[in-house]
Amino acid sequence: MVKANAPHLQATTSQSGRIIDDSSSPYFLQNGDHPGLVLVSHFLAGNNYNTWSRAMSMALTAKNKLVFVDGTFMRSSPEDLLYGAWIRCNSMVISWLLNAVSREIADSLMYMATAHDIWIDLRERFNQGNAPRIFQIKSLLTGLQQGSMDVSTYYTRLRTLWDELKDFQPVSVCNCGSMKDWAKYQNQDYVMQFLMGLNESYAQIRAQVLMMDPILVISKIFSLVVQEERQRSIHSDISGSSLDHSSHSSPHPSIAIVKGPSYGKYDKGRKSDLPTCSHCHYPGHTSDKCYQLHGYPPSHPKYKPKQYFCNHQ
């Protein structure tokens, strides 16, 4: 009896091995898959469940392991030759889920047997209803201002809230013209929110955008404002560099001190028009009036009176 069933058992074992080694199979584990792997950058802290759940779903889909949390692959019977593979993959997904939540939440999930149970428990505990979250998002959009943020950071925060709010909206399959009108209205709403939150220093470009007909898409408007911000940064850097250079060149930008024998201060702009001494090579005088050749006048700080010595025997 055992010998009769042996070929069938061997064939089933070979088939299960091919399933486990198939890269398209949910039972397949890559070399980089290990229990300490962190799939998402932001941990679940309670109030960020919606964004965390979406990020985690995408990460598990990329790993071909979403079926272990959505209930598609339930626990198989111990007699199934793939039972060991299911236990291994389920434990791996549990480890990834525990690595993606805060320590306090992870402690409360430690003794759950399946990844599906953990997924359902997190959704029941932290998933907010649509209406409260929509209200919260719209409140944040109303109060969001650029303030001390640069334009890119401000736009990124707006975009994050817009995308999350859009996720709550029903998806329409209508291809009529009303959908295009709705898309134009939504784009206009995005543009208005973006312009309303900008600092008053962008009032001029705001007025230019509002005069456009038809109005550009929000990504183009954002690009225009970023270019304006960069132009201001360039002008600011040039102005600052000019001030630094002039402050280190001389006590006054239009006055330079002439070193050596001269008649005082002169305008740098007229330096090329002044005569140059052939003896000391300093501008402002000629050799027939050079102090180094003829001596300094009594009013000059370097003037030294001649001393006469008398020898008496």
- Number of Cβ within 10 Å of residue 209's Cβ equals 20
Which secondary structure element, helix H or strand E, spans residue 114, and what is its range?
none
Q: What pLDDT, on a 0 to 100 scale, did the predictor assign at position 18? A: 79
What is the pLDDT at residue 92?
95
Residue carrying the six token digits 């270019």: 227
Render each residue's pLDDT in the chain as its tens digit; 313 residues: 334 433 333 435 666 777 788 888 888 998 899 999 999 998 998 878 888 998 999 999 999 999 999 988 888 788 888 888 999 999 999 999 999 999 999 999 999 999 999 999 999 998 877 788 889 899 999 999 999 999 999 999 999 999 888 877 766 656 666 778 888 899 999 999 999 999 999 999 999 999 998 899 999 999 999 999 999 888 776 766 555 555 555 444 443 434 444 444 444 444 456 777 777 777 777 777 777 777 777 666 676 665 544 454 4
Task: Tell me which long-range contacts 154-162 makes (C-beta under 8 A, separation of at least 24).
Answer: 154/197, 154/198, 155/194, 155/222, 158/190, 158/193, 158/194, 158/197, 161/137, 162/190
Confidence (pLDDT) at 129: 73
At residue 313, the 3 state secondary structure works out as coil
Whole-number Å distance between alpha carbons of 73 and 311: 125
Q: In this structure, what is the dihedral angle of CA atoms 189, 222, 159, 212, given to the nearest 10 degrees?
A: 10
Q: What is the pTM of this model?
A: 0.55
R_g (Cα) of the chain, nearest Å: 40
The DSSP secondary structure of 211-243, one letter per residue, reads T-SSPPPHHHHHHHHHHHHHHHHHHHHHHHHHH
Q: Which residues pair with 283 in a beta bridge?
A: 276
Query: In the prediction, which pLDDT does 165 show?
Result: 87
Which sequence spans correspond to the domains of the chain? 2-126, 130-235, 256-294
Q: In the chain, where do the E strands start and end?
A: 255-256, 266-267
Closest CA to 101 of 115, 122, 132: 122
Cis status, amide bond into 214, omega within 30 of 0: yes
- Which residue is listed with tokens 């305008």? 267
Alpha helices, H only, 78-129: 83-99, 103-109, 115-126
- Contacts of residue 140, Cβ cutoff 8 Å, sequence gap at least 6: 161
Helices 203-210, 177-197: inter-axial angle, 10-degree rounding: 160
Q: Which of 47, 221, 15 lies closest to 126, judged by CA? A: 47
* Residues 177/201, Cβ–Cβ less than 8 Å: no
